[in-house]
A and B are shown apart, each in its own frame.
Chain A
């Protein structure tokens, strides 16, 4: 099955700086890559996703890039704010598993004011 690795496990940045979280996947058949944000005591929330036919996608201060050849994808957050502090999860899905997602272990992002 798919194996998703996520780095770093913790990340601290100053407010206003950028944050980058990286994930790699093992199965070249994977075609959908979502990112989730989990605030303390809440369920994961889908914040952005990218499909294998696209190299980059942006939504205001967040962006995701995908390199299919290297089998890695990244989350970029610009102009970070304290409310960006949360655990972020990447995931990968391939078309053969009918919707099953494989998750990375998460990155605890802390944004200091």
Chain B
């Protein structure tokens, strides 16, 4: 039981490049979400999903796309990377009703 896994751990992109951050969970939780963490800003919600086929925007969605075709996977796509997207990205999975959420180890992204 790996919980929540994220790949890659580190990534460097040039401005304008696109990429997908992968997130997978093996806990069969319906709720999944993506956060970014910047110094002094805490955890800010980018997008979330309450089940396969259902996604919604969080606090800072611009520049990011998500889809949820299966319960297990919730990839985050950067369409055209910008230096402002340099951050640490965390994926989380949990129960919608209960509220408990479990985080992955994070992806550190640098955009130059």
Contact = CB atoms under 8 A, between A and B. Distances in A.
Given A34-B101, A98-B50, A100-B58, A89 B106 contact: no
Nearest to A4: B42
A44 B43 contact: yes
Contact of A99 (B40, B99, B106): B99
Nearest to A90: B42
A113 interface: no
B42 A99 contact: no
B103 interface: yes
Interface of A: 32, 34, 36, 42-46, 49, 89, 93, 95, 98-101, 103-106
B75 interface: no
A3 to B, nearest CB: 12
Interface string B88-99: 001000111111
A4 B18 CA distance: 33
Given A43-B106, A100-B58, A49 B99 contact: yes
B92 to A, nearest CB: 8
Interface of B: 4, 31, 33, 40-43, 45, 48, 50, 58, 90, 94-106
A66 B74 CA distance: 33
A49 to B, nearest CB: 7
Give 10 nearest A-B pairs by CB, closest first. A43-B103, A32-B99, A105-B42, A99-B31, A99-B96, A93-B99, A103-B43, A98-B96, A44-B103, A98-B50
15 contacts: A32-B98, A34-B100, A34-B101, A43-B106, A89-B42, A93-B99, A98-B50, A99-B33, A99-B48, A99-B95, A99-B99, A100-B48, A101-B99, A103-B42, A103-B43
